[in-house]
A = this chain, B = another copy of it.
Amino acid sequence: MNNRFFGHDLISVDSLKRDDVELLFQETGKMEKLVKDKGGDKKLEGKIIAALFYEPSSRTFSSFITAIQRLGGGFIPLNGMMNTSVAKGESFADTVKVFSAYSDLLVIRHPQEGTPKLAAEYSNVPVINAGDGSTGEHPTQALVDLYTIKEHFGEVNKLQILMVGDLAHYRPTNSLAKLLTLYPDIQLSFAAPEQVSLPKHIREFLAERKISFREYTDYKKILPQVDVLYVTRVKKEYMSEELYRQVQGSYIIDRSVVECMKNNSIIMHCLPRVGEIETSVDNNIRAVYLSRQVRNGLYLRMALLNLILGKI
Contact = CB atoms under 8 A, between A and B. Distances in A.
A56 interface: yes
B272 A90 contact: yes
Interface string A88-121: 1111011101110111100000000000000000
Interface stretch (A20-28, A39-47, A178-186, A196-204): A39-47
A78 B62 CA distance: 9
Interface residues of A, number: 61
A143 interface: no
A47 to B, nearest CB: 6
Nearest to A76: B62
Contacts of A99: 62
Contact of A274 (B41, B66, B88, B273): B88
Contacts of A13: none
Contact of A74 (B66, B84, B294): B66
A157 interface: no
Given A58-B78, A81-B58, A102 B298 contact: yes
B47 A39 contact: yes
Interface of A: 38-41, 45-48, 50, 56-59, 61-63, 65-66, 69-70, 74-81, 83-91, 93-95, 97-99, 101-104, 233, 236, 271-275, 279, 290-291, 294-295, 297-298
